[in-house]
Amino acid sequence: MTTLRIGGFTPFTTTDYPGRLAAVVFCQGCPWRCSYCHNPHLLPADGPESHAWPDLLRFLASRRGLLDAVVFSGGEPTLQGGLADAMREAKAMGFRIGLHSAGMYPQRLARVLPLIDWIGLDLKAPRAVYPRITDTSSVGEAVFDSLRLILEAGVDYELRCTWHPELLSADDLMALSNEIRHAGADRLVIQAHRPAGCGTRLPEIVASDLEQAGLDALAARFRDFSVRGGP
């Protein structure tokens, strides 16, 4: 029987899988402690369960033909051993499978990649800056291994980086763009940090922050580049 510890569920969204109507399953547990995390209640692996997977499967069965996709988000979904079975069960119902991941477990990601139709991979910083962002000793090497696996698999993907000028400087962003391009990827979304719902006390991003971040220079380095949110 599939075991998946679920900390939240969104039955309908138009924003979590590009161009598709989706339900989002929020998986419990994440080993990192990013200061800007919007889902701190999902971080403990043994946190409270909001839904049982068999109940969600019954709900999804009632949404065949109405929803296109099921997105596994978190927390960090690849933390859980039951992820592959849950993806298989949702896929067998005819849904596309999406994954939101921070990519810290490349070997676990490799096991579920054949089941995935689209992945949103969070790139938090250039490799060396990961410990500062995640508040752990983790360096970003594993994340770039995950990126390599995604590119080799040919899975449709989005790379996104949460940005605030007090978290990542223009030099950090340029270093990150170098590492992404060196990996062979050609797209990037900069997500302006949103203070609502997270524990940080960072000031609101203003237009001059965007100018000083060198985003024009970044944009020129990617085939697909966009900035999400912000002033």
Residues of this chain that bind ligand SF4 (CB under 6 A): 30, 32-34, 37, 39, 43, 74-76, 102
In whole angstroms, the minimum distance from the beta carbon of 63 to ligand SF4 comes to 26
User: Of the two residues 139 and 219, which places its CB atom closer to ligand SF4 in the complex?
Assistant: 139
In whole angstroms, the minimum distance from the beta carbon of 93 to ligand SF4 comes to 26
User: Of the two residues 30 and 90, which places its CB atom closer to ligand SF4 in the complex?
Assistant: 30
In whole angstroms, the minimum distance from the beta carbon of 37 to ligand SF4 comes to 3
In whole angstroms, the minimum distance from the beta carbon of 220 to ligand SF4 comes to 28
> Distance between CA atoms of 103 and 142, rounded to whole angstroms?
7
User: Of the two residues 41 and 63, which places its CB atom closer to ligand SF4 in the complex?
Assistant: 41
User: Of the two residues 82 and 214, which places its CB atom closer to ligand SF4 in the complex?
Assistant: 82
Residue bearing tokens 């998986």: 27
User: Of the two residues 76 and 158, which places its CB atom closer to ligand SF4 in the complex?
Assistant: 76
> Distance between CA atoms of 219 and 206, rounded to whole angstroms?
19
In whole angstroms, the minimum distance from the beta carbon of 42 to ligand SF4 comes to 6
